[in-house]
Structure 1
Amino acid sequence: MGADGAWVIGRGLLGRAVERERGTSAAARPIRWGDPDSSVIDLRTHATALARREGPLEIYWCAGRGVTSTPREQLDLEVDVFRRALEVFADVLQGRDVRVFLSSSVGGAYALAPYPPFTEETPVAPGSSYGVAKLAMEQELAAFARQTGWRTFVGRITNLYGPGQDMAKGQGLVSVITDSYVTGHPVSLYVSLDTLRDYIYEDDCARVIVAGMRRLSSEPAGSSITKIIGAMSAVSIGALLGEATRLRRQRSRITLGQGRAGGQSSDLRVRSVVWPELDALVRTTLPEGLDKVFRARLAAQGNGRR
């Protein structure tokens, strides 16, 4: 938790990137996400510590372990914890000037939407319980903003990647491809090579989020802004594999995965029409990002880490 009143919740790929960009440090005591009641208790403890800071306060909700294959019951628990957390924040931080960011998902919001590229004006069309859960959290936050007068910011993020990807979550094609070069494990694909995705590097995403939170301060009280955050340049999975081959000068081994990748669109091109000037903060090219991920993975392997 930063001395200036910024609190990043979630220590995954995005949370750590936002901490670096915002200049905050991790809270002193971890949150016990494995148990909903315990996690809410911990959130209250940290919110109480945040209340001691002077001036405007910022909360960045970057937590969540759900993916498109996560069971609905588990996702429902994540939504409930978020709702209860908002109640805690309203109780502990009442009367303060607070801005809240929520990490959401382009893939969750537009999985079944026709006619890409999708914008913030495109009607949402989730294709999985994951998408339904993400949109439920967005709705909770918008209602919360109206009730409290706080300003809130939802970032619908495209395919986030970077050296800190959690391989245990079973997602992150860039990390899986990179890992294949280091370990020799094949890349299992569940979708067509023509599948289009927009890939954004972790630090670029964090820059847009933090800049958005600064801009949010000039919005009217009770505002809830939703922005698509991505590179605004989709590439096919085949092209991604081709770029990795060019950089590493050898092909990855590819196998067709068993099962079905449900709830995912074949074309997730996007174009943001909300605060589009912030898109210029996305500077990392795909070759640069792939190289950074590969070098970090190679260093981790050399240090004996998975």
Structure 2
Amino acid sequence: MKRDFLNISDLKKDEILQIIDYAIKLKKGNVQDQSLKGKSIGLIFMKPSTRTRLSFEVGVYQMGGQPIYIQGSSTQMSRGEEIKDTGRVMARYLDGIVIRTYSHKEVEDLSRYFDKPVINALTDYLHPCQILADLQTIYERFGKVENIKVAFVGDGNNVANTWLIAGGLIGFNVSVATPEGFEPSGKAVHEALKLAQETGASIEVTNDPVEAVKDADVVYTDVWVSMGQENEKEKKELFKEFTVNRHLLSHASKNAIVMHCLPAHKGEEISEEIFEEFADVIFDEAENRLHAQKALMSLLFK
């Protein structure tokens, strides 16, 4: 039976911990995984990408497979072909699809008509592959991913949505701070709270960044203006108090780390001083996209 990865909650907690453990072994070179030998994986990109494209192309190649980069504008989808027809055609050629696009529904529709694994490499709603790599990074720093507090400060975007769901699923506390009117998706909050009933996680959304980062082990941020929202630059004025800087970080745990999924707009969501202080963490986080995604693909293609 095929398995997709459209949402972080498509995995069980134990599977996420398994992925983290295996990703660390892959990173250290302790294992060589050829799960994709002889397989062709389509990489459909409707949005520009650096880390996601590189990590998946290199990862598929290292696992013995053939990555096929497909720019969305070069396909018949750009001329109106229905996603269900595209999925049924690609199922005749490919062994899996990684898709980075705008609409989450588009990914869900594709998964219904493509009878092999589909991996969500980013939608406007969720960014689950990023959070897998982030969890690996946290484990490397703290030796655990449970019983910690993650504070997300900035726009209530796809990354914030995924952090909330991950916290509820695994059992760590998540506090998201955004300006009023920019809170995370109500759907994501609802799912996180439902999951948290089982794990005991604390799920919080606030408009006060100081409240959010209080005693946090991880302070996390992302750009204020996401791809496709460039016409909303005026909203930056509303985010002035949400910069991760020395003052804000002083309210976090003494041993807190700062994370950023990149690209960073230094001087906006994060000060250059704090970015450089935690650059080792941030670029480990970027590298871990490769290892976590390889571990994910190994699980899905068993």
* Normalised TM-score (structure 1): 0.35
* Normalised TM-score (structure 2): 0.36
Q: Which has the larger helix fraction?
A: 2
